């Protein structure tokens, strides 16, 4: 049976004024509330996790027998583990009623998780779960997510294919500055909010995460972010640590399609 392992990952992203990495300190995990799960699967009490999690790639599983959920509430930094321990691949449909999340591949303690996609904003997406796979879905904002397993899905709606293609285009430019601009344009195009002062990216994104996505070092990203701030092309919105990007930066050529 495929399972959705519900993990409470209380790693809270740092909100430093210098736009430092979002990998903040670990805090004790809180109790998961699954109202929809209780009504569908009985009044099972999900226990507290008394110890902080040490690695987002190896979350502690609270329940491993939930086949589907109509509505799962996640706060910022909490994660769920999507796994397929069966002998064949299966599919899961993700329906975001609210919020934005990051999907990553989980490969154990000794390997960093790899960002595969971002999803949310009232989006309905299909995800293929290969045999023996472990995917981690981390809430970047407070999220309400529906999860439904199936044996097949429309191939043209596969979430990973779309995002891996987009990430390939992001990494195509030669210079780190061009790749970073391409990444910001991609995320603004998918999730951005138009403001009178520019475009807001409605979730925090740390330097280390951006470095992973564009194939650069964290110091390179930090240096480039500093240049953007000095040119008034990037501001940090407090509280929350989200970005406000100038229209000049986002609308510069070569332009990417903005789906706002």
Q: Are residues 22 and 107 in the same domain?
A: yes
Are 64 and 104 contained in the same domain? yes
pTM: 0.72
The whole-number pLDDT of residue 62 equals 31
Kindly list the strands in the beta sheet with 3-7, ordered across the sheet, starting from the edge strand earlier in the chain.
3-7, 79-84, 133-139, 100-105, 114-120
Q: How remote is the C-alpha of 231 from its chain's centroid?
A: 28
Is residue 108 over pLDDT 90? no
Do 133 and 27 reside in the same domain of the chain? yes
- The contacts of residue 9 (CB under 8 Å, 6+ apart) are 29, 53, 56, 59, 77, 78, 79, 136, 138
- The proportion of the chain whose per-residue pLDDT surpasses 90, expressed as a percent, equals 41
Same domain? For 187 and 127 the reply is no
Domain contains 242: yes
- Report which of residues 168 and 24 the model is more confident about: 168
pLDDT, mean over the chain: 73
Specify whether the CB–CB gap between 53 and 11 falls below 8 A: yes
DSSP assignment letter at 188 = H
Range of the domain at 15: 3-154
Which of these three, 93, 128, 154, is where a domain ends? Answer: 154
Whether the predicted pLDDT of 11 surpasses 60: no
Residues 148 and 182 in one domain: no
Identify whether residues 150 and 190 lie together within a single domain: no
pLDDT top residue among 188 and 67: 188
Per-residue pLDDT tens digits for 198-227: 999 999 999 999 999 999 999 999 999 999
The CATH number for 65's domain is 2.60.120.10
- Residue 60 in any domain: the answer is yes
Q: Does 101 have pLDDT greater than 90?
A: yes
- The mean pLDDT of 107-112, rounded to a whole number, is 70
- Same domain for 29 and 135? yes
DSSP H/E element including 242: strand 242-245
User: Collapsing DSSP states into helix, strand and coil, what is residue 163?
Assistant: helix
Q: How confident is the model at residue 83 (pLDDT cuts 50, 70, 90)?
A: confident
Asked whether residue 164 is domain-assigned, the answer is no
Angle between helices 176-191 and 207-214 (to 10 degrees): 110
Domains in the chain, number: 2
């Amino acid at each position: 049976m495929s399972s959705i392992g519900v993990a409470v990952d209380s790693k809270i992203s740092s909100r430093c004024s210098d736009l430092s990495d979002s990998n903040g300190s670990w805090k004790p995990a809180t109790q998961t509330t699954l109202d929809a799960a209780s009504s569908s699967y009985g009044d099972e009490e999900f226990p507290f996790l008394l110890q902080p999690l040490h690695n987002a790639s190896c979350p502690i599983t609270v329940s491993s027998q939930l086949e589907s959920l109509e509505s799962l509430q996640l706060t910022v930094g909490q994660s769920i583990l999507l796994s397929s321990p069966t002998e064949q691949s299966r599919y899961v449909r993700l329906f975001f009623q609210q919020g934005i999340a990051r999907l990553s591949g989980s490969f154990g303690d000794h390997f960093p998780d790899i960002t595969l996609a971002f999803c949310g904003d009232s989006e309905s997406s299909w995800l293929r779960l290969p045999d023996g796979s472990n995917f981690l879905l981390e809430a970047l904002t407070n999220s309400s997510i529906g999860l439904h397993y199936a044996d097949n899905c429309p191939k043209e709606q596969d979430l990973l294919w779309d995002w891996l293609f987009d990430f390939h285009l992001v990494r195509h430019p030669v210079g780190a500055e061009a790749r970073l601009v391409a990444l910001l344009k991609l995320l603004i195009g998918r999730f951005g909010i138009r403001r009178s002062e520019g475009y807001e990216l409605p979730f925090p994104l740390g330097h280390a995460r951006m470095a992973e996505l564009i194939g650069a070092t964290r110091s390179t990203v930090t240096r480039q972010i500093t240049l953007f701030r000095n040119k008034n092309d990037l501001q940090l919105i407090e509280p929350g640590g989200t970005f406000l990007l100038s229209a000049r930066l986002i609308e510069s050529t070569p332009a990417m399609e903005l789906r706002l």
